[in-house]
A and B are shown apart, each in its own frame.
Chain A
Amino acid sequence: DAKTTQPPSMDCAEGRAANLPCNHSTISGNEYVYWYRQIHSQGPQYIIHGLKNNETNEMASLIITEDRKSSTLILPHATLRDTAVYYCIVKVDKIIFGKGTRLHILP
């Protein structure tokens, strides 16, 4: 399985875009990139996933580089409710969570 590298923590001002990076330099051609988040005392929540193309849904956008070795999750207008641990996962069939990035939204 491809390994992912994420910064342990990040800060973002409320109302600004939060850009969470993820490196996955050993990703294989058939491995998807998934993002989940976990708000304190809750179970993880699926956000978005992608293979090659950039993806957008009501929660976030996912930008995958052309060589697929890294990606960025974008929360366009961060709110205090977006404070959570964000997990970047690369896998074909099984979700494996790392330690993620703890995102703090600053008022």
Chain B
Amino acid sequence: EAGVAQSPRYKIIEKRQSVAFWCNPISGHATLYWYQQILGQGPKLLIQFQNNGVVDDSQLPKDRFSAERLKGVDSTLKIQPAKLEDSAVYLCASSQETVSYEQYFGPGTRLTVT
């Protein structure tokens, strides 16, 4: 089966610019996650969707980050405006609704903010 797809793989922007990341989860996976991974640290959950709805966005910096999951499939994560500290790898993951501990991760998008 096809894995979790993410694009772009790399992005370089200047601070105060905006950027968007796209994720296509594994077919049939109801739950979708966005993580931020800063160099040297483990991934940090930003937001979790269950179908179309948000389950957890407690660690999403809502003043600059937004995410949506239209029709319960693809998702986009946006940062506007970007800050230097947003430089990180943004990982998307998905899981079956009843097997949420087994998350399948995409390759990630490496964002560099200069």
Which A residues lie at the B interface, using CB under 8 A? 32, 34, 41-46, 49, 85, 87, 93-100
Contact = CB atoms under 8 A, between A and B. Distances in A.
Interface residues of B, number: 20
A22 to B, nearest CB: 13
Given A43-B91, A43-B108, A96 B45 contact: yes
Interface of B: 4, 40-45, 48, 56, 91, 93, 100-108
Contact of A97 (B40, B43, B100): B43
Contacts of B56: 94
Contacts of B108: 42-43
A34 B103 CA distance: 11
A57 to B, nearest CB: 11
B14 to A, nearest CB: 24
A75 B15 CA distance: 43
A96 B4 CA distance: 20
Contacts of A42: 105, 107-108
Given A43-B93, A43-B108, A95 B103 contact: yes
Nearest to B3: A43
A101 to B, nearest CB: 11
Interface of A is mostly: loop
Contacts of B105: 42-45
A97 B105 CA distance: 14
A97 B101 contact: no
29 contacts: A41-B107, A42-B105, A42-B107, A43-B4, A43-B91, A43-B93, A43-B105, A43-B106, A43-B107, A43-B108, A44-B93, A44-B103, A45-B105, A46-B102, A46-B103, A49-B101, A85-B42, A93-B100, A94-B48, A95-B45, A95-B103, A96-B45, A97-B42, A97-B43, A97-B44, A98-B42, A99-B41, A99-B42, A100-B42
